[in-house]
Amino acid sequence: MDPRHLSVDERLMGACVYCGGPAETHDHVPSRVLLEDPPPDDLPVVDACAACNQGFSLDEEYLACFLECVLAGSTDVKRLRREKIKHALSRNDRLSARIQASARFNDNGVLTWEPEVERVHNFVLKLARGHAAYELSLPQLDSPETVFVSPLLAMLDGDRKAFENAGSGELRGWPEINSRAFLRVVGAQPYSDQAGAWIVVQPGQYRYSVDQHGGVRVQVVLAEYLGCVVKWA
């Protein structure tokens, strides 16, 4: 069975997975700006309306650039690691200045960065909706119960352990037969060599998990630094 063309996907055709409106285009989940070039050949793709697809672009660029600056400890393009972020900030002085203005030294002399929380949550929610629709064939159009974002190193030990377990890849909630989540859990092709709950899109850059147990829960890790949880009851 080709996981790119599943029978359960037919119910999603013609509808935007983000708002439920008419699907006019396709969107990659995760967004390419979060990945190194070249991106994986089998990058997940979902249906989206033009307004949603375009409406998230500024938040996508902001979070990708902000995260890279935090990791580098600077907005100086010479100190950044990722070429596409260097290019983005080089052509967008306003964004570079906006991110730089969010950097401050605390009372202990440690450099801290204050993210624009609403923009971050908006983009993380977009990613979670895309993963839920793609993996479970269950679009989540309602407001979530939880949107949580934190650096992994800032999590308490017990919370970090629970986050990393992410359901341990167990068949919890029994995903619908022939959904991608079902094929992954039972080890069917092409997922027979996949172990655990995490789906690694690009090592060191992006991984995610989708769990259907007492609701839908999506977890994402960006650049092995930022942990995100979105949950619907």
Look-up: residue for tokens 């009372």? 107
Residues 23 and 62 in one domain: no
Q: Confirm whether 190 is domain-assigned.
A: yes
Quick count: other Cβ atoms within 10 Å of Cβ 120?
19
Where in the sequence is the domain holding 192, given as residue range(s)?
A: 12-55+117-232
The residue ranges of the chain whose pLDDT is under 50 are 1, 169, 171
Quote the Cα angle for 146-151-153, to 5°.
125
Q: Confirm whether 205 is domain-assigned.
A: yes
User: Looking at residue 185, what is its pLDDT?
Assistant: 62
3-state helix, strand, coil in the chain (%, to 5): 40, 20, 40
Residues 160 and 205 in one domain: yes
Query: What tokens does 159 get?
Result: 């919370």
For residue 143, give the nearest of 128, 131, 158, 153 by alpha carbon. Answer: 128
Q: Which of 113, 130, 150 is the last residue of a domain?
A: 113
User: Looking at residue 171, what is its pLDDT?
Assistant: 46
Residues 183 and 89 in one domain: no
Look-up: residue for tokens 């979530």? 144
Q: Confirm whether 4 is domain-assigned.
A: no
**Side-chain-side CA neighbours of residue 35 (13 Å):** 18
Residues 126 and 31 in one domain: yes
User: Looking at residue 1, what is its pLDDT?
Assistant: 47
Look-up: residue for tokens 């990708």? 64
Q: Could you tell me which residues come within 8 angstroms of residue 111 by beta carbon, excluding any fewer than 6 positions away?
A: 73, 103, 104, 105
Q: Which of 80, 98, 113 is the last residue of a domain?
A: 113
What CA–CA distance (Å, rounded) separates 22 from 130? 15
Residues 180 and 220 in one domain: yes
Q: Confirm whether 212 is domain-assigned.
A: yes
pTM for this one? 0.86
Residues 37 and 151 in one domain: yes
Residues 43 and 22 in one domain: yes
Q: Confirm whether 5 is domain-assigned.
A: no
User: Looking at residue 166, what is its pLDDT?
Assistant: 83
User: Looking at residue 35, what is its pLDDT?
Assistant: 96
Q: Confirm whether 219 is domain-assigned.
A: yes
Residues 69 and 151 in one domain: no
Q: Could you tell me which residues come within 8 angstroms of residue 171 by beta carbon, excluding any fewer than 6 positions away?
A: 185, 186
Total domains in the chain come to 2
What CA–CA distance (Å, rounded) separates 128 from 170? 20
Residues 69 and 175 in one domain: no
